[in-house]
Structure 1
Amino acid sequence: MSQRGRHRSSPARLAAFEALFQVATKDAYANLALNQVLSKHRMDAQQSAVCTELVNGTARLLGTYDRVLETAGGRPLSSLQPAVVTVLRLTTHELLSMRTPTHAAVDAGVELARDAVGQRVTGVVNAIARKVAAHDLDEWVTLLSEAAPDPVDALATATHHPRWITEVYADLLGDEARTALEANNVAPVPTLVVRPGLVERDQVDAPDATPTTFSPFGLHRAGNPSDLREVRRGQVGVQDEGSQLMAWLASLAPTSRDAAGLPWLDLCAGPGGKAALLTGLARQRDTWLLAGERAPHRADLVRKALSAYQDGWAVVAADGTRPAWQPGSFGRVMADVPCTGLGSLRRRPESRWRRTTDDLDELVALQRQLIDAAWRSVAPGGVLAYVTCSPHPAETIDQVRAFLDRTPGAELLDAPALLPDVPGAGHPGDARMVQLWPHRHRTDAMFGALLRKPS
């Protein structure tokens, strides 16, 4: 990339280019790359907002923009160097999804190409950008949809998702699928969670916050969470309402009397959001939480998340498939297993284009190992909460059904009955399991099932 001469591009565009180039070439997560460049570059509030929109918006519609660019340019993007592709993606977002005038967006793209790559690529950027500008986003979607081989592909194009994800939504939701997919394209307002025993929701000094609809622990609040004193003190964290509901669900599940006084386990605890909420709830029941996390650096994140509690917890860096504790030690176990993350597409906009069915196969095998290990950790009469941030059947209902088939005596509890104020929470394939949806509940598409061990 060019480092010579004085940059004429705005700081927001240069920073957005830097973040998305990391996503394209280093497999970085867009939200982490964005936070990095916002911390690195000194920008005012307006420039920071523009940078955020450029990064998140471009990442969210990445696949659609790539199809537009290949159609407009008449060549595969693989024929262009990654830096040029990144410039074109950002320029396309300005042209099709922001209010930047056409001539200004094209000129900005050319200047960004000159600053970030070099003078020699400005011609190709200018030519392709002008062809992109020949249609607005709706017109491009119509053109691409008309070329789709079938209705599922057309729906994927119209809602800016890969086909394989669109198929999952269509199979689960039928006519409701379009609304659900479109909800993934709306960035959520940040959601906070109070830590039980440290602060009450009405004590948080945030008059501009609104209570979450279903979780008794949550608040919606726009802006930077670290502006709040309670967040800086660790009394309040950042956590989607759906994740809050899964931790709460695990705490509500009925156990036997013998299991009730035993400690709780969070099997895959990193980075610590659910573990912090579970710790507060466990302390209210006169017990404590063990948080396990395989990666040492993520175990450190869990410790940081729990550090506001003086007691009631312990963290161990351990592989959940090979537990570092005795079998049958815990009255409640949460296995929030690694998954495709298809339930958090609102907050992680690039993940829909990053994940593939190959990833799914590897994750399903790991999930099977983890649910079996978690079950061995449950005491007689105790409960296992199996949780994923995904609506994909292979990671959710199929995983639970397969577990029940190979595990005599395991009882599937009616989880939605424990959340009576959450409408439409039953899974479409089995109403005893919970499946949340962004378009219904304004949460991530979290899945939860409760399994009780015989006394």
Structure 2
Amino acid sequence: MRTRGDQGGGGGGSRTRRPPRPTRDHARNAAFDVVRAVDERDAYANLLLPRLLRDRGIKGRDAALATELAYGTLRGLGTYDAVIEMCSDRVPDPDVRDALRLGAHQLLRMRVPPHAAVGTTVDLVRLRIGAGAAKFVNAVLRKIGSRTLEEWVPIIAPDPADDPVGHLAIAYGHPRWIVSAFRDALGGPDEMPDLLDADNARPLVTLVARPGRSSVEELEAVGALPARYSPYAAYLREGDPGQIEAVAETRAAVQDEASQLVALALTRVPLEGDGDELWLDMCAGPGGKAGLLDAIATHGDLAGLSEEAGERAPAPGPVAFPGGARLVAADVQQHRARLVWQTTRDAAVLTADGLEPAWRPGVFDRVMLDAPCTGLGALRRRPEARWRRDPHGIAELGKLQRRLLGTALDAVRPGGVVAYVTCSPHLAETRVVVGDVVARRSDVEQLDARAYLPEADGLGDGPHAQFWPHRHGTDAMFLALLRKRPQA
């Protein structure tokens, strides 16, 4: 992964004498190894870092520091590379460049004192690369630390009056095409700084207590806090969620709050005609939404239930699903289908291609289509994804999304409902896809998805619902609800 030139050419140096060996800094070494693996081998930080922390026994504050260093550095590569280029008289070797990126993140976006940010990075380079490289890194970081990020931005970024998109791209560390896509989805530039800033913030770990199997109260008992929107969500302030008993037993899980709410919305739509017994999650892997749908299908939507009356407490919004349905969960990839099988209890799990259905048409009452997408709505959690994605594959992805939505609508019975979901706000993956499919079919009506999400406001003008990191503190999840109408 490269955001600027790939060529080497300096900063490595040679070791002329062996300096005193610095104390090993476990957190910074782990962060450096993650950034190197992402840069050199296209590794995934969200998979690699937890394993490194576990294998090396890094816990508590050191684990939090390593996470912020690795994730924050990867989010801000575009900005940091522009500053490094301005402060260096040569193109650093890749390993030196990654160390400079770590140092720049500490200097420009963390509360690490400048002398500590420079000193610990220089020690890391001396230990891992060499003495000559350490001298080079020391000189460059001192130049970087001579200004704040706010002072650097006018120097490294285009004038916002001449190139507002380019200015935001450099100032907030996002590729230009993603900034343009977000601005189009928001309908203008006014909220862009808030959105991009939220996209660079470390997200809370959000848990879901699957109804009938766990509860928010159980999660609170181990230190979690009740969430803002979803009645089944809780925020984990610190610690490894895998160590929580309910998570280890798949009675609870890690799941973004917007992901929970779009699944809940599907279960809240009243159906036309008889029967609400068979649901389908068509692209179910790795199983987050399937796990919640499986629990609701079996046990019902238990939020707001009175223990004394056993009935839903009076409240505005949709009526809770009472339970008694069966979920079929399918994924085209066997390893993803296996993950779904591991996280669900009562669902029938299939390895099946949604484009070549293994089921008869018109047999499901509710269908969840969490369509394959660019994942631009989850850049907070996958920090390197913004630099790996490019706009060239969106057209082909859109074709796949249209075909899958068509087969989802074929799978649902007349009077049933389909939820079309993407973890991306890109118009070509959201409103355009839904609009094209609905325009071609006479048996489909689009419902106002916001009506089934009474917990949240700021979801857009409708009829779709769009979550945003800066408005809701969630991933940028998109939801459209489509009802299958009987043919005349």
* Aligned length in residues: 443
Pick aligned residue for 1:288 from 313, 326, 350: 326
Whether 1:387 aligns to 2:421 is yes
Aligned residue in 1 for 2:105? 93
Whether 1:419 aligns to 2:453 is yes
Cα distance between partner residues in 1 of 2:232 and 2:53: 29
Cα distance between partner residues in 2 of 1:44 and 1:221: 15
Pick aligned residue for 1:154 from 167, 172, 176: 167
Structure 2: 5+ residue stretches without partners: 1-11, 301-322
- Give yes or no for contact 1:20–1:33 (8 Å, CA) kept in 2: no
Pick aligned residue for 1:131 from 136, 143, 163: 143
Pick aligned residue for 1:319 from 353, 377, 389: 353
Whether 1:190 aligns to 2:190 is no
Identity %: 47
Pick aligned residue for 2:368 from 307, 310, 334: 334
- Give yes or no for contact 2:402–2:433 (8 Å, CA) kept in 1: yes
Aligned residue in 2 for 1:273? 288
DSSP-derived class of the 2:365 partner: strand
Cα distance between partner residues in 1 of 2:109 and 2:193: 20
Aligned residue in 2 for 1:118? 130
Cα distance between partner residues in 2 of 1:84 and 1:210: 41
DSSP-derived class of the 1:322 partner: coil
Cα distance between partner residues in 1 of 2:472 and 2:426: 18
Aligned residue in 2 for 1:109? 121
Aligned residue in 1 for 2:339? 301
Aligned residue in 1 for 2:3? none
Aligned residue in 1 for 2:85? 70
State the 1:146 CA deviation: 4.8
DSSP-derived class of the 1:335 partner: strand
DSSP-derived class of the 1:408 partner: coil
State the 1:6 CA deviation: 6.0
DSSP-derived class of the 1:364 partner: helix
Cα distance between partner residues in 1 of 2:289 and 2:431: 21
State the 1:7 CA deviation: 6.3
State the 1:432 CA deviation: 0.8
DSSP-derived class of the 2:463 partner: strand
Cα distance between partner residues in 2 of 1:320 and 1:7: 56
Whether 1:145 aligns to 2:157 is yes
Name the amino acid aligned to 1:250.
L
State the 1:147 CA deviation: 5.1
Aligned residue in 1 for 2:273? 257
Aligned residue in 2 for 1:371? 405
Aligned residue in 2 for 1:436? 467
Cα distance between partner residues in 1 of 2:94 and 2:332: 34
- Give yes or no for contact 1:262–1:329 (8 Å, CA) kept in 2: no
Cα distance between partner residues in 2 of 1:360 and 1:253: 30
Cα distance between partner residues in 1 of 2:404 and 2:96: 42
TM-superposition CA deviations, 1:330-378 (whole Å, max 9, x none)? 1111110111111112222222222211243332232122212222211
Sort the Cα spacing of 1:327 and 1:84 in 2 relative to 1 into closer, same or farther, 3 A.
Answer: same
TM-superposition CA deviations, 1:366-392 (whole Å, max 9, x none)? 212221222221122211100001111
Cα distance between partner residues in 2 of 1:44 and 1:29: 20
TM-superposition CA deviations, 1:88-118 (whole Å, max 9, x none)? 1111112222233333322322322233233
Q: Alignment RMSD, CA only?
A: 2.2
Aligned residue in 2 for 1:225? 241
Aligned residue in 2 for 1:179? 194
DSSP-derived class of the 1:220 partner: strand
Cα distance between partner residues in 2 of 1:300 and 1:124: 49
DSSP-derived class of the 1:432 partner: coil
State the 1:271 CA deviation: 1.0
TM-score normalised by the chain length of structure 2: 0.85
| Higher normalized helix content (fraction of residues) | 1
Structure 1: 5+ residue stretches without partners: none
156-165 or 132-141, which moves further after superposition?
156-165
TM-superposition CA deviations, 1:260-300 (whole Å, max 9, x none)? 33411111111111001001111233121111112211111
DSSP-derived class of the 1:21 partner: helix
Cα distance between partner residues in 1 of 2:220 and 2:195: 34
TM-score normalised by the chain length of structure 1: 0.91
Cα distance between partner residues in 2 of 1:152 and 1:31: 28
